[in-house]
């Protein structure tokens, strides 16, 4: 599978990565999915200390132990569990980050993390202090590189200006083109990569979209109402599915952007993962098809969803 350089780092993730949040806590089942990913050539695995109270990191670490030097493990920090794990709160402080990384290393069973990501961020954060924590961890060799997971343009701009991040993870898809307005141009200018999540829009941008469409009856999807989706999705599938699956078209849409380093997708079974990998082998979008997408979808869907900080 094609690999792409992440920013100015020496990390080369496969263009399709495994999002581990959906693996669950059944270790046998989760391991089968991870083993399938490895067999299919995937080398990028994305987890977070928040997922399943840290159990996700433990499962991922165990499954990847034998191939540790051949894979890229990415995890996240910033959401801190309350006492009793009744909920969590935001803590981007240097003290917490430097303590939390120790716990992630222990759970992952490794002595370094390839990509450590801030799991959110606001303009009210002590950003200089947060960056200092990541820089010190990089200097100590505890992490190789760092990035942020954020959809907030102002936050992204601040980290691009002040830090050495190599990536920004954010939602991006045919139905969510928000990054095109501000984020992607900023990333391109600074040579920072986009790590895409949500490329398949909760299944709405797959060949099984009809099954998922019923879940959007009440609230739609972002600025798309249910009636709009009911009309748009079949149109997209008919046009884009002539030469490939609808799933493949949706993934190729985000891969077509040169800023994209990898697209992270989840999988609840080895079979689902195999389908997604197969999509990577299907033909890319033509210029005509890409133009069709841009014509039929909303370029700026911020509206009520715009986040200013």
Q: What is the length of the chain? A: 309
Question: Residues 263, 2: contact at Cβ < 8 Å?
Answer: no
- What sections of the chain are H helices per DSSP? 27-39, 55-64, 94-108, 127-139, 153-162, 183-190, 209-213, 226-240, 246-255, 270-280, 287-296
| Among the listed residues 88, 96, 259, the one whose alpha carbon sits nearest the alpha carbon of residue 166 | 259
Instruction: Identify whether 172 is a catalytic site residue.
Output: no
d(CA 263, CA 199): 7
Q: Is 90 helix (H, G, I), strand (E, B) or coil?
A: strand
d(CA 42, CA 17): 6
In this structure, the strands spanning 193-197 and 167-171 are: parallel
d(CA 201, CA 228): 15
Question: Residues 2, 12: contact at Cβ < 8 Å?
Answer: no
Which of 12, 44, 51, 112 is flagged as catalytic? 51
| Spatial CB neighbours of 167, under 8 Å, sequence gap ≥ 6 | 6, 7, 115, 117, 145, 147, 148, 192, 193, 194, 195, 261
Instruction: Enumerate the active-site residues.
Output: 51
């Amino acid at each position: 599978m094609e690999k792409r350089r992440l920013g100015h780092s020496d990390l080369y993730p496969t263009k399709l990565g495994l999002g581990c949040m959906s693996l669950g806590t059944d270790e046998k089942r989760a391991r089968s999915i991870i083993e399938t990913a490895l067999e299919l050539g995937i080398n990028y695995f994305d987890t977070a200390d928040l997922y399943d109270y840290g159990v996700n990191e433990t499962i991922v670490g165990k499954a990847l132990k034998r191939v540790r030097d051949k894979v890229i493990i990415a995890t996240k920090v910033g959401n801190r569990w309350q006492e009793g794990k009744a909920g969590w709160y935001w803590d981007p402080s240097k003290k917490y980050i430097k303590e939390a990384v120790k716990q992630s290393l222990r759970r992952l069973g490794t002595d370094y993390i390839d990509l450590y990501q801030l799991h959110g961020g606001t303009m009210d954060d002590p950003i200089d202090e947060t960056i200092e924590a990541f820089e010190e961890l990089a200097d100590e060799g505890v992490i190789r590189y760092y990035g942020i997971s954020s959809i907030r343009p102002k936050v992204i701009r601040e980290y691009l200006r002040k830090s050495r991040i190599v990536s920004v993870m954010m939602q991006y898809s045919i139905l969510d083109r928000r990054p095109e307005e501000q984020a992607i141009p900023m990333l391109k200018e600074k040579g920072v990569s986009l790590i895409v999540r949500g490329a398949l829009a909760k299944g709405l941008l797959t060949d099984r979209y009809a099954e998922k469409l019923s879940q959007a009856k009440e609230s739609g999807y972002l600025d798309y109402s249910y009636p709009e989706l009911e009309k748009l999705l079949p149109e997209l599938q008919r046009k884009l599915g002539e030469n490939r699956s609808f799933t493949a078209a949706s993934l190729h849409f985000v891969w077509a952007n040169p800023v994209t380093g990898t697209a992270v997708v989840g999988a609840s079974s080895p079979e689902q993962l195999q389908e997604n990998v197969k999509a990577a082998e299907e033909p890319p979008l033509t210029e005509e098809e890409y133009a069709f997408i841009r014509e039929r979808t909303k370029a700026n869907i911020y509206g009520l969803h715009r986040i200013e900080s």
